[in-house]
Copies of this chain bind each other. A is one copy, B any other.
Amino acid sequence: MKDVLCPGFKAAGIASGLKKNKAEDLGLIFSETPAAIAGVFTQNQVQAAPVLLDRERIKSGLGRAIVANSGNANCCTGEKGIRDAEAMANAVAEQLAINEKNVFVASTGVIGLPLPMEKIIAAVPDLIAALRADGTDAFARAIMTTDTVKKVVARQGKIGDKLFHITGIAKGAGMICPDMATMLCFICTDVCATTDALQRALKRSVNSSFNRITIDGDTSTNDTVLLMANGWSQADIESPQGGPAFQSLLDAVLIDLARQLVKDGEGATKLVEVAVKGAASEKEAHQAAQTIANSPLFKTALFGEDANWGRIAAALGRADIYINPNTIDIAFDDVVICRNTSACGLEAEAQAAKIMQQPEFTVTININCGTCCASVLTCDYSIDYVKINADYRS
């Protein structure tokens, strides 16, 4: 069964010739009525043209459509890049007879090459003709780069007696790191919301989902998360129960998508939660988890299924947080392999090695210096990670 977008939205994805293999590479999401829109963008100082455009347009708080392409990031493309992003939006706006200021743009792919505009403009009529309520999957495929599977999550909830929907579509794969990375995520919902409330909810959800995952520590120039709310359900997120109900469902959708991103990280064979406990502050716990989760030596050991906890201790020691170097405990799932910074013996290590053979497990590091904790999801560094990224453009 195809995933259906939330009521009042349509989507499409077609092949415009940007990708070499004739796969879908141009996608469109259309809101039949004006929607409130919220957005979160990359923290990278070098930002792609569509990000610069969207940042400007989102000030109006109103969205009608999102046009996205894969195969080219439209980044480091100067003034022409900005004009190209505008032209992409204009072509869509004209043919949908909507205000171009309410059309948002996203691009992902290679940096530094101009967008092949003639291909995109020529494809817009077909793109619009392809719009349908069950176009989610086609759109999801159109934004994939090195992703191996599409990422779509559709959920529903209730505010009072009003049923509401949230559908999220994302792409990820490489360059996933704190504060997001070449990841695009588009979310449609039919709740009633002011732009401000929507923005607050989105920011909070992004912090507990996309900002808690890492694939390779690199941060992209094109990260974009956009959330449109059309109000069709009449479920109001500013009603007393509305806020929590919407937030928890939005959290669930984004956390689910975030897990899917890490699981499909470039060359990844394992999904690993790095949980740091006993830190002096949540910030320090997060920093420690992030440092470990990004350590190439830790990540290659995950790939090798080697319970080499010394690399975890070494990464923790350079995380620049408060620790006592003699009170570190490390566990793989529930097997404690290191206590007070010393090995627990060969049997524990053998058990940990078995746990590492699983596709998903948790590494818990207790610093024993405080009461705060934080988790980061990561994946392993495999031979395929290198192969994919050495050959990306060829």
Q: Which residues of A contact B (CB under 8 A)?
A: 43-47, 73, 75-78, 110-113, 174-175, 177, 216-221, 294-297, 300-301, 303-304, 306, 308-311, 313-318, 323, 325-326, 328, 338, 340-343, 381-383, 385-387, 389-394
Q: How far is the CB of A298 from chain B (nearest CB, A)?
A: 8
| B297 x A78 contact (CB < 8 A) | no
**B218/A309 in contact, CB under 8 A:** no
Are B394 and A387 neighbours in the complex by a CB distance under 8 Å? no
A386 near B386 (CB under 8 angstroms)? yes
Cross-chain pairs A/B with CB under 8 angstroms, 7 sampled: A75-B313, A111-B308, A112-B313, A296-B389, A306-B393, A308-B393, A383-B387
A113 to B337, CA, bound (A): 12
Q: Say yes or no: B46 contacts A221, CB within 8 Å.
A: no
Candidates B75, B111, B304; contact of A390 at CB < 8 Å? B304
Instruction: Say yes or no: A111 contacts B313, CB within 8 Å.
Output: yes
Taking CB atoms, residues of chain B closer than 8 Å to A110 are: 308, 310
**B46, A311: Cβ atoms under 8 Å?**
no
What does DSSP make chain A's interface, helix, strand, loop or mixed?
Answer: loop
- A76 x B338 contact (CB < 8 A): yes
A310 CA / B301 CA spacing, docked (Å): 29
Cα–Cα, bound, A67→B381 (Å)? 35
The interface residues of chain B lying within 8 Å CB-to-CB of A318 are 43-45, 177, 218-219
Task: Report yes or no: A300 in contact with B218, Cβ–Cβ below 8 A.
Answer: no
Report which residue of A46, A77, A342 has the largest number of chain B beta carbons within 10 angstroms of its beta carbon: A46
Q: CB distance B303 to A340 under 8 Å?
A: no
How many copies of the shown chain assemble into the complex? 2
User: A321: nearest residue on chain B (CB-CB)?
Assistant: B45
* In the complex, the 8 A-B pairs of residues with the closest C-beta atoms, listed nearest first: A111-B310, A304-B390, A46-B317, A300-B389, A44-B317, A219-B318, A45-B317, A112-B310
Q: Is the CB of B381 within 8 A of A386?
A: yes
Assess the B391–A313 pair: CB atoms within 8 A. no
Bound: A300/B77 CA distance, A: 23
Interchain CA distance A300-B308 in the complex, whole Å: 24
Give the distance in Å from the alpha carbon of A46 to the alpha carbon of B310 in the complex. 10
Contact B76 A341, beta carbon cutoff 8 Å:
yes
A386 touches B382 (CB 8 A): yes
Question: Considering only CB atoms, which chain B residue lies closest to A349 in the complex?
Answer: B112
From B218, B391, B394, contact of A314 by CB (8 A): B218
- Complex: chain B residue closest to A77, CB-CB: B342
Which residues does chain B contribute within 8 Å of A387, judged by CB atoms? 383
**Besides A219-B314, A221-B317, A301-B389, 15 other CB < 8 A contacts?**
A45-B323, A46-B316, A73-B310, A78-B341, A111-B311, A112-B342, A175-B314, A217-B217, A219-B317, A296-B385, A303-B386, A304-B391, A306-B392, A308-B393, A385-B386
- Are A314 and B393 in contact, CB atoms less than 8 angstroms apart? no
- By a CB distance below 8 angstroms, the chain B residues around A326 are 78
Q: CB distance B43 to A310 under 8 Å?
A: no
Smallest beta-carbon distance A162→chain B, Å:
42
For A217, the chain B residues whose CB sits under 8 A away are 217, 294-296
